[in-house]
Amino acid sequence: MTDSALLVCGAGPDGQPVGQLLRLGNRHGLIAGATGTGKTVTLQRLAEAFSDAGVAVFAADIKGDLCGLGAAGEPRGAVAERIASMPWLPHRPQAYPVRLWDVHGQSGHPLRTTLSEMGPLLLGSLLELTESQQAALYAAFKVADREGLLLLDLKDLKALLNHLKDHPQVLGEDSALFNAASSQALLRRLAGLEQQGAEALFGEPALHLQDLLQPAADGRGAIHLLDASRLVHEAPKVYATFLLWLLAELFEQLPERGDADKPLLALFFDEAHLLFAGTPKALQDRLEQVVRLIRSKGVGVYFVTQSPSDLPDAVLAQLGLRIQHGLRAFTAREQRSLKAVAEGFRPNPALDTLAVLTELGTGEALVGTLQANGTPAPVQRVAIAPPQSRIGPLTGVERTALIAASPLAGRYDQAVDRESAYEMLTQRKARLPERPAEVQEQSLADKAGELLSGAAGQALKSAMRQAANQFGRQLVRGLLGSLTGKRK
């Protein structure tokens, strides 16, 4: 095994490099540890290693300092000493090919997707819908697919909901799932989403996945950074839902690659607990399935969080590279958690894993890698190799210059509002004679009365239960996609 075949993390007690074979980079990973123990620098080091190997990287920049990847480092002090202790690892201060993204379009290229691409399952999770509201949303998406109504942004969906409220007959066999009350509830949820500034996420031009995979001019993998410092604090559900959508789109669109000498893309999901907190079971099951299967598409997913317990056991079991920075245990519960973390590594007779967990200094970690045959190697205490780029954020001037020089400059900057559901339904409404308000009100009241009476009321409840139980099986386009195979 040569050093060039390794995704090097740092040096072990004997001074030799510790890392994982690059061809196993699609086996996913974990970077965990308490605040201030060096998780961000470790992420930066791994992102550089992937980029040097020609592997594209997408990462969330939560604290705003990961963007230092776009500038050359200036090692001094303890960092310079750490570099000197690793003579086998060439260290050339350099900037990396960074592409900056921002949902709000202020500190990077605007990052968008469309409602049709996100689909009702992810959107329902984002809106935190009840089962009956989720069933109504599915019914609305089915009408949009059937009638060729593009759902690109929030105004499209609002126009569709109002249209279905006024013309329930277009729902056909799904009319029992949708009524004026469900329409109003969905509209209120969308209004709350707008208050969080989430409308900026939906629209066109939407992110083209091939732009993430395009290498830099020098052959290195491009590093795409999402500025999530504002998003995580103001709209954490939007942040988590976008990452889930990205994972689902990659799974659906990328072809099978089989065994390869390196991955195609490495994803780093910081604040990973947000991906699973409050997630409906139907969605979490699909997420776990995607994580298990997407490695065959050449995608490695690396979760960054404070404790491994933030992730479901089904996901933890799939993580090949484990980098555990220091943890603190002051309570009985924390001590039990500490023991569980230690037991997650393959034991090393020369190391008391449990004791070392609380002794690790900044920039040190317990590292568990995979051996060449894919089985876990014994855990090692590792000094993390310093990155070659800057440890710390870019200045405002540097960030502006980086965005202007990006090969993606101008491609996503100007929003496009083509004809979609809002325009189409507005045109239909203009062509139809308007009914008196009292007639519309009476019609809705009669309809509600019919639905809620006797056998019809039971049918409504039964239909809602059936729709709730069928969420996953109704998805034809993809595990987490929209209802049909249409690409809008």
Phi, psi of 124 (to 5 degrees): -60, -40
Do β-strands 321-324 and 17-21 pair in parallel, antiparallel, or remain unpaired?
unpaired
CB burial readout 174-202, b (16+ within 10 A) else e? bbbbbbbebbebbeebbeebeeeebebbb
Residue 433 confidence (pLDDT): 64
Output the CATH code of domain 25-112+205-405: 3.40.50.300
116-175 pLDDT, tens digit each: 999 999 999 999 999 999 999 999 999 999 999 999 999 999 999 999 999 999 999 898
Among residues 102, 50, 47, 89, the alpha carbon closest in space to that of 70 is found at 47
CA 28 to each of CA 188, 264, 293: distance values in angstroms, whole numbers, following the listed order: 38, 13, 11
CA torsion 176-181-183-186 (nearest 10°) is -120
Phi, psi of 316 (to 5 degrees): -55, -35
Dihedral over Cα of 384, 389, 394, 395: its sign = positive
Would the pLDDT of 438 be above 70?
Answer: no
Among residues 371, 397, 435, 447, the alpha carbon closest in space to that of 179 is found at 447
Sequence-separated contacts (24+) of 208-217 with Cβ below 8 Å: 209/249, 209/250, 209/253, 209/254, 211/408, 211/411, 212/56, 212/58, 212/265, 213/56, 213/264, 213/265, 214/56, 214/407, 215/54, 215/56, 216/97, 217/97
Partner residues linked to 226 by β-bridges = 60, 101
Partner residues linked to 20 by β-bridges = 7
Length of the chain: 488
pLDDT mean across residues, the chain: 87
| Tokens read off for 30 | 């974990």
DSSP class of residue 117 equals H
Contact present, 18 and 380 (Cβ < 8 Å): yes
CA 51 to each of CA 10, 222, 243, 388, 397: distance values in angstroms, whole numbers, following the listed order: 17, 6, 21, 12, 24
Residue 459 confidence (pLDDT): 45
Phi, psi of 422 (to 5 degrees): -60, -50
Give DSSP secondary structure letters for 130-156.
-HHHHHHHHHHHHHHHHHT----SHHH
Residue 133 confidence (pLDDT): 94
Residue 297 confidence (pLDDT): 96
What is the C-alpha separation between 446 and 316, in angstroms, rounded? 53
Residue 153 confidence (pLDDT): 95
CA 388 from centre of chain: 26
CA torsion 252-194-190-249 (nearest 10°) is 0
Q: What is the mean pLDDT of residues 39-63?
A: 96
Q: How many CB atoms lie within 10 A of CB 285?
A: 15
CA 117 to each of CA 235, 267, 293, 403, 478: distance values in angstroms, whole numbers, following the listed order: 20, 20, 20, 26, 10
214-223 pLDDT, tens digit each: 999 999 999 9
Element (H, E) at 368: strand 364-368
Would the pLDDT of 39 be above 70?
Answer: yes
pTM over 0.95: no
CA 65 to each of CA 44, 70, 109, 227, 238: distance values in angstroms, whole numbers, following the listed order: 10, 10, 17, 10, 21
Q: What is the mean pLDDT of residues 411-430?
A: 93
Q: What is the mean pLDDT of residues 182-204?
A: 92
Domain ranges within the chain, ordered by starting residue: 25-112+205-405, 128-201+433-474
248-300 pLDDT, tens digit each: 999 999 999 978 999 999 999 999 998 888 778 878 888 899 999 999 999 99
Residue 425 confidence (pLDDT): 95
Would the pLDDT of 62 be above 50?
Answer: yes
Q: What is the mean pLDDT of residues 378-402?
A: 96
Query: For residue 19, what pLDDT band results from cuts at 50, 70 and 90?
Result: very high
Residue 197 confidence (pLDDT): 82
Element (H, E) at 123: helix 115-127
In this structure, of 383-392, 449-458, 471-480, the range with the lowest mean pLDDT score is 471-480
What is the C-alpha separation between 421 and 278, in angstroms, rounded? 31
Percent of the chain topping pLDDT 90? 71
Q: What is the mean pLDDT of residues 74-101?
A: 94
Residue 281 confidence (pLDDT): 81
309-347 pLDDT, tens digit each: 899 999 999 999 999 999 887 788 888 888 999 999 999
Residue 331 confidence (pLDDT): 81
